[in-house]
C-alpha cells in the first residue's frame, strides 16, 4: 500500500501561505518576467494565434476593373503554440518538521516557508533564464578545462550556474550530440568565469568548446525571445510553430542588428528605426546590468530618469531614452545575456498559462505527499505555459 496521505499541519501552512500566491511571490527579482502580462487561458493541446502580414492589394489609379482584376486578399499566418511544462520537487524531512513544532511559535511555519520560498525562487530563476533564450537550455560554452574547473568562453555565463546544480554537456549549442554522464557544481567564480564540478571525468569525453546545460533541461524549455526574435533572420524552410517566417521576417520574427562594433545606444536606436519602419512601436529596452551600466555612464545627462522630478541616484534601475519607435524604458535585468539587447513593446507579448504561472500542485487537495522510500514529505511546484509575441513587428534584438 502506498502512503500518500498529507500531514495536516503542513497542509494548513500551505493553504494559508501559498494558495494562489506562489506566482506573485516568485517574480520579484525578475523584472522582465514580472512585467510580461500573464493570461491563464491555455486550454486544449495548443493555442493557435494569427499574425497579419498584409492587407488586400486591389488598388489602382485606373479603371475599377483593373483593381478588381488584381484579385488580392489580406494575408496572415497562424502559429500553433504548445505548452511547456516545467516541474520541480522539494522534500521536507519529517524529523526536522516535528522538531520545529516543539520550538516557539512561528518556528514551524518559518521552516516550511524558508524551504519552499527558496525553492520557488530557484524555480523562477530557471524560468527567468529561459525567457531570453531559445528553448535548448544552453547555459555556457567551455573555453578550457583544468582538472574539475571549467573556464567559460563568456565569463558572465558563470552566473547561469548554481552550487548543487547537476550539469550535462553536449557537443552542439542546440543540445544535440550529448556527452554521457553528468556532474554537480561544487564551486563558482562569477568574476573569473569558472565553474567547478565534483568530477569533470564523470562526463565522458568532456572537452573545450562543449556546451553546458542543467542536466534534466536539455531542449525542452520555454520558447523564449531568442527563438521568437533570433539574431539571424529566418531562412527559407524555417518552421517556427508551423510557420515559415522568412516570407516576411520583420513582421513575423521582429527586427535585428548584428553589429558588435557599434555602441549599445546606437544599435538600440537602429533597431527602433527598423521597428518603426515595419509599422511597429516599442517602450522597453532590456539589458544585462553590466551593459546597462556601460550605457548609463556614457550617456550621463542625456538620460531621463523615471520616478518623478528631481535628480536620479546612481544605480537607479530604470532610465528613459527617446527612440524612433517611442520612448524606451531601459531595464536592468540579470536574466538578459550580456551579448544581447532587447527592444520591445511590453503590451505585445504575454505568457499564456494553464493555472497560475508558477503554482504548487494540489489538484487532489494534497499540498504534499509522504515519500514511499524516505521519512519525508514532498511538495511539487509546476509551471505550464509558453511565451507568445502577439505582434512580432514590435520586437527587436541587437548583438553586443
Tell me how far apart the alpha carbons of residues 57 and 67 are, in angstroms, rounded to a whole number: 8
Cell numbers describing residue 73: 486578399
- Please write the tens of the pLDDT for every residue from 285-309: 999 999 999 998 888 756 666 555 4
pLDDT value of residue 290 = 94
pLDDT band at 314 (very low <50, low <70, confident <90, very high): very low
pLDDT band at 1 (very low <50, low <70, confident <90, very high): very low
pLDDT value of residue 119 = 86
User: Sign of the CA dihedral 186, 189, 190, 195?
Assistant: negative
pTM: 0.86
pLDDT value of residue 34 = 86
Other CB atoms within 10 A of residue 358 CB: 24
Q: Is 41 exposed, middle or buried (0-12, 13-18, 19+ CB in 10 A)?
A: exposed
Instruction: Delineate the domains of the chain, giving CATH numbers in brackets.
Output: 1-50+76-85+254-400 (no CATH), 138-214 (2.40.10)
Per mean pLDDT, which range of 1-10, 171-180, 246-255 is the poorest? 1-10
Tell me how far apart the alpha carbons of residues 355 and 361 are, in angstroms, rounded to a whole number: 10
Residue, of 131 and 93, whose pLDDT is higher: 131
Tell me how far apart the alpha carbons of residues 244 and 82 are, in angstroms, rounded to a whole number: 17
pLDDT band at 73 (very low <50, low <70, confident <90, very high): low
Angle between the N-to-C axes of helices 264-277 and 289-299, in degrees from 0 to 180, rounded to the nearest 10:
100
pLDDT band at 6 (very low <50, low <70, confident <90, very high): very low
Tell me how far apart the alpha carbons of residues 246 and 51 are, in angstroms, rounded to a whole number: 14
Checking if the pLDDT of 87 tops 80, the result is: yes
Query: What is the biggest distance separating any 2 CA atoms in the chain, rounded to whole angstroms?
Result: 91
Cell numbers describing residue 235: 531562412
pLDDT value of residue 21 = 54
Tell me how far apart the alpha carbons of residues 42 and 353 are, in angstroms, rounded to a whole number: 5
- Please write the tens of the pLDDT for every residue from 335-345: 999 999 999 99
Tell me how far apart the alpha carbons of residues 218 and 137 are, in angstroms, rounded to a whole number: 5
Report CA-CA distances (Å) from 168 to 89, 173, 206: 20, 12, 9
Tell me how far apart the alpha carbons of residues 7 and 13 are, in angstroms, rounded to a whole number: 10
**66-71 own/partner pairs: CB under 8 Å, 24+ apart:** none
- Please write the tens of the pLDDT for every residue from 11-67: 666 666 666 555 555 555 789 998 999 999 999 999 999 998 887 666 677 777 765
pLDDT band at 187 (very low <50, low <70, confident <90, very high): very high
Amino acid at each position: 500500500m502506498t502512503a500518500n496521505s498529507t500531514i495536516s499541519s503542513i497542509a494548513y501552512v500551505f493553504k494559508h501561505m501559498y494558495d494562489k500566491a506562489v506566482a506573485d511571490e516568485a517574480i520579484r527579482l525578475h523584472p522582465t518576467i514580472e512585467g510580461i502580462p500573464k493570461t491563464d487561458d491555455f486550454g486544449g493541446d495548443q493555442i493557435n494565434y494569427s499574425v497579419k502580414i498584409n492587407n488586400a492589394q486591389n488598388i489602382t489609379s485606373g479603371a475599377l476593373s483593373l483593381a478588381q482584376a488584381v484579385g488580392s486578399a489580406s494575408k496572415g499566418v497562424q502559429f500553433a503554440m504548445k505548452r511547456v511544462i516545467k516541474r520541480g520537487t522539494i522534500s521536507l524531512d519529517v524529523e526536522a518538521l516535528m522538531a520545529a513544532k516543539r520550538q516557539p511559535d512561528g518556528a514551524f511555519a518559518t521552516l516550511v516557508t524558508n524551504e519552499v520560498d527558496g525553492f520557488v525562487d530557484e524555480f523562477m530563476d530557471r524560468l527567468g533564464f529561459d525567457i531570453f533564450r531559445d528553448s535548448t537550455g544552453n547555459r555556457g560554452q567551455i573555453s578550457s578545462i583544468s582538472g574539475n574547473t571549467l573556464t567559460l568562453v563568456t565569463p558572465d555565463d558563470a552566473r547561469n550556474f548554481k552550487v548543487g546544480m547537476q550539469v550535462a554537456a553536449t557537443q552542439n549549442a542546440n543540445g544535440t550530440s550529448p556527452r554521457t554522464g553528468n556532474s554537480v557544481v561544487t564551486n563558482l567564480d562569477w568574476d573569473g568565469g569558472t565553474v567547478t564540478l565534483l568530477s569533470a571525468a564523470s562526463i565522458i569525453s568532456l572537452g573545450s568548446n562543449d556546451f553546458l546545460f542543467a542536466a534534466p533541461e536539455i531542449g525542452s524549455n520555454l520558447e523564449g525571445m531568442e527563438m521568437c526574435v533570433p539574431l539571424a533572420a529566418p531562412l527559407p524552410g524555417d518552421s517556427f510553430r508551423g510557420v515559415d517566417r522568412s516570407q516576411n521576417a520583420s513582421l513575423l520574427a521582429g527586427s535585428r542588428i548584428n553589429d558588435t562594433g557599434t555602441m549599445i545606444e546606437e544599435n538600440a536606436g537602429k533597431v527602433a528605426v527598423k521597428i518603426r519602419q515595419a509599422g511597429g512601436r516599442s517602450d522597453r529596452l532590456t539589458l544585462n546590468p553590466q551593459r546597462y551600466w556601460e550605457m548609463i555612464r556614457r550617456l550621463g545627462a542625456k538620460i531621463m530618469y523615471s520616478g518623478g522630478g528631481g535628480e536620479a541616484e546612481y544605480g537607479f534601475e530604470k532610465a528613459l531614452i527617446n527612440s524612433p519607435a517611442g520612448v524606451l524604458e531601459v531595464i536592468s535585468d540579470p536574466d538578459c545575456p550580456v551579448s544581447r539587447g532587447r527592444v520591445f513593446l511590453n503590451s505585445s507579448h504575454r505568457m499564456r498559462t494553464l493555472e497560475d504561472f508558477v503554482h504548487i500542485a494540489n489538484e487532489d487537495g494534497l499540498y504534499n505527499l509522504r515519500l514511499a522510500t524516505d521519512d519525508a514529505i514532498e511538495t511539487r511546484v509546476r509551471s505550464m505555459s509558453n511565451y507568445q509575441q502577439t505582434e512580432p513587428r514590435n520586437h527587436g534584438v541587437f548583438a553586443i
